[in-house]
Amino acid sequence: MPDPISVLVVDDSALMRNLVSKIVEATPGLAVADRAMNGRFALEKIPRCDPDVIVLDIEMPEMNGIEFLRERKRLGIEVPVVILSSIAKKGAEVTMEALALGASDFITKPSGSVSADIHTVAGELARLLLAYGSEYRTRKGKAVQRYEFEAPERFFEPAPVLDGRAKLRVEAPKPLRQPGPVELIAIGISTGGPNALREVFAKIDADLPQPILVVQHMPPGFTEEFAASLDRLCPLEVKEAADGDLVKPGRILIAPGDRHLTVEKKPLGAVARLNEEPPVNGHRPSADVLFESVARAYGNRAMGVIMTGMGRDGARELGAIYREGGLTIGQDEASCVVYGMPKAAFEMGFVGQQASLADMAATISRLAKQYRA
């Protein structure tokens, strides 16, 4: 059996190092490689303990998290980093800077920089560490013990081995009609999404003729700064969606944390709508909520895109777009950090075509222009 995924825990608080280490050691498939009280000590320990993934605090003496990430980039260290960040606006800005410097993902501390409530996000932290640690080991050609990512209640059970054979795709249902001119693009994405969206939107066609609505699973307090960080690198306008925002070409709207995003067609155009209805698939915002709204409003004049993420959110209602005759794209397994959401949609027969992350922007842009109104 392969060795467990090794985790380097970096935090200036001895309490936090101990609490995070306990979460790691309690998770089947994970093990603590070492602990460090700041970025400088972490850099010294990486060659010795050879971690598969790093948990990194931001505010630390001598070398903080941002300084560590800059030095990691300069040295060419590829070990993935999961940030532990507080929820304050300043924390959101710094977290987006960390993502821009190559951090893989982040998780919010429940209550400040030193939190005895870290156990409340233990499951989420364990999932991220397993996801990014597994992805890194696979990329390096190391053996990986696969764990179930798609059902939280079964998360810590090893996934069954099926003689090396993946589950077969069901026979695709027949759409009600042929695709029409695409008027709107909707994207659902989760784990691995922040950096995946950075890559897609940096490459998206500047003359894209359709607006884009995005559900990225992200906590409140972060989506405004996340949208602003995407806007700085994207040739199109990117902003956090507000209720009543115009849905228009040249604009990308990101669902706010803890608010569902839908679309409403009006005589003079379409507008974004936000609501606080109960979570769907454990998420608010939910990709299923967005896709269902888009299918209802646009029918076969929509494009649905489902990308890297744990679980099944978005898979069912991507089918609503597919059945109406809309175009559907799923990210392929090889380029997903977690092949959960797109896998579920693919196995249901709702993915019209697959694309790698490297090709996603070009695929969206090509189809958007091919099927423009």
Residue 84: enclosing H or E segment and its boundaries? strand 81-85
- Nearest one of 339, 284, 301 to 179, comparing CA atoms: 301
If we measure between CA atoms, which residue out of 259, 256, 261 comes closest to residue 272? 261
**ω before 285 within 30° of 0 (cis)?**
yes
What the block records as the tokens of 164 is: 């090396």
Let me know if 283 is a catalytic residue. no
Q: Which of 190, 286, 293, 365 is catalytic?
A: 190
CA distances from 312 to 2, 198, 212, 306, 339 (A): 27, 22, 21, 10, 10
Other Cβ atoms less than 10 A from the Cβ of 155: the count is 18
Which residue in 342, 349, 351, 338 sits closest to 307, CA to CA? 342
For 12, phi then psi, to 5°, come to: -75, -15
Residue 301 DSSP SS3? helix
Maximum C-alpha span of the chain? 64
| Residue 119 is among the residues annotated as catalytic for this protein | no
Name the pairing type of β-strands 260-266 and 269-275.
antiparallel
- Give the dihedral of Cα atoms 250, 255, 256, 261; nearest 10 deg: 120
Angstrom distance (rounded) from CA 78 to CA 93: 23
Marked catalytic residue, from 85, 217, 283, 332 = 217
Can you tell me the distance from the alpha carbon of 292 to that of 282, in angstroms, rounded to the nearest whole number?
16
Active site residue 332: no
Spot the catalytic one: 134, 313, 332, 335: 313
Residues recognised as catalytic: 190, 217, 313
